[in-house]
Amino acid sequence: MTDLTPSDGTGRAGLGRRAVVLGGAGAVGSVLLGTRLSFGQQAARPTVVRAAASGTAKSVHLAGTDGWVSMPAGSPPDLPFFPDSLAPAPFDTYVFGFRDVTAMTTAQEVAAVRGKAQISAPMLSFDEGDDVTITLSNLGLLMRPDLFDGHTLHWHGFVNAIPLFDGVPELSLAVPIGRDLSYFYRPHDAGTYMYHCHFEDVEHVQMGMTGMVFVRPKQNGSVLGTVPAGARLAYAYNDGDGSTRYDREFAFMITELWSAAHYRDAHIQVSDWTDYAPSFWLLNGRGYPDTIAPGGDPTSTEGGRLQYQPISSRITCNVGETVLLRLSNLGYQNHALTLDNVDMQVIAKDASLLRGRDGYTNYLETNTVDVGPGESRDVLVTPHQTGEFLLYDRNYAYLGNGGGTGWGGMMTVLSVGAPNTYRPQTQPNT
């Protein structure tokens, strides 16, 4: 792969057709900044650098590899597929995934992540106008050295002028094992988006290479409409009237997991994808009750069986606060999520605010939100009483773990406390 870095070092290229999830229509450039050998070797760089008035320069470094995770304890065996006989304790399921290695400063640190994949992938967030560099390193598959799969980042749902950097390997650039690929973006459209590997995409998406990304609007920090004293001035979109303001946000990557396919990948076998029959239904890579366990740090050696599933799905807020729920589906089934005894307001579908060109608002008040494969929804909820409320898939077949008894699968809890029970939120899902 050739180094295409411009001689002036700007790394700017043409505008994109599908503006990668970080770009807006006609406003995003992406470029290969450089490639290097030996599992992501590259010079150390700060993760956030202040830039000129156009915005802030932000750098993210992701690594693609394989690894092991755990489905909920007590899930019944489905031999030989689950638990996988090759899985090291305390894990039971083979996966592919991405890891955030931005803070790592040496090639040796990055290479050490090989075989330690994370599901779901790290959540990424940027502001409109940021100058964003995202580097992807392909560390290879520790369990499958016979496979030479490349990896890509396909930013699902964006307008992109040319296919070169769209992530579809037949028409764009892919990252072979032991190489890096960097992209430059300047996002201009706020919203909730997704990213996934598009190399052997049916397999790689099912194996766990899925993540979420948010673009935050320029409107943030503005006082619009009626705002409670001391409230957070954060908005989901540039609405012009403050109707998408929220106090806290929680994001959910909706997927299913087919144990047989994961077993076959680990044991050098081939799956017939027309036989697709999921065993587990997941929020952020976890099934209930793991969904409500605290979040973790995948770099910790004390993370236990959920170490590589670090994103919690438990929702917490104080009574009267407005919560933004970001829902993205990169599974292969339709899901209808309902929240008991709390009304939901759908404000956007597929990163598009539900408002006509005439300014008429089409927000939807409902108790159930449908999310199809490849779709996203932005939902506001404002609980007016304390307590715990279940958020779950209305299809009860998706509320079990591997066919076992009791509740499981695609379910989590909204915990509402009295005023000042929960401290102000510093990042999503905390």
What tokens were used for 22? 């970080």
- Listed in sequence order, the DSSP H helices in 40-162 are 107-111
**How deeply is 302 buried, as exposed, middle or buried, from its count of CB atoms within 10 A (0-12, 13-18, 19+)?**
exposed
Burial code (b: 16+ CB inside 10 Å, e: under 16) for 9-20 equals: eebebebbbbbb
- Separation of alpha carbons 342 and 327, rounded Å: 17
What tokens were used for 338? 């309902």
CA distances from 116 to 84, 147, 207, 299 (A): 16, 17, 14, 9
Using alpha carbons, select from 153, 233, 238 the residue that is nearest to residue 193: 153
Q: Please report where in the chains the tokens 């930013």 appear, as a residue.
A: 155
Compute the C-alpha angle 54/125/155, nearest 5°: 95
For the entire predicted model, the pTM comes to 0.87
pLDDT tens sequence for the chain (430 residues): 333 233 333 333 333 323 333 433 333 333 333 434 333 333 333 332 233 334 689 999 999 999 999 999 999 999 999 999 999 999 999 999 999 999 999 999 999 999 999 999 999 999 998 888 899 999 999 999 999 999 999 888 776 545 677 777 777 788 999 999 988 788 889 999 999 999 998 999 999 999 999 999 999 989 998 888 888 899 999 999 999 999 999 999 999 999 999 999 999 999 999 999 999 999 999 999 999 999 988 877 556 999 999 999 999 999 999 999 999 999 999 999 999 999 999 999 999 999 988 888 999 999 999 999 999 999 999 999 999 999 999 999 999 999 999 999 999 999 999 999 999 998 999 9
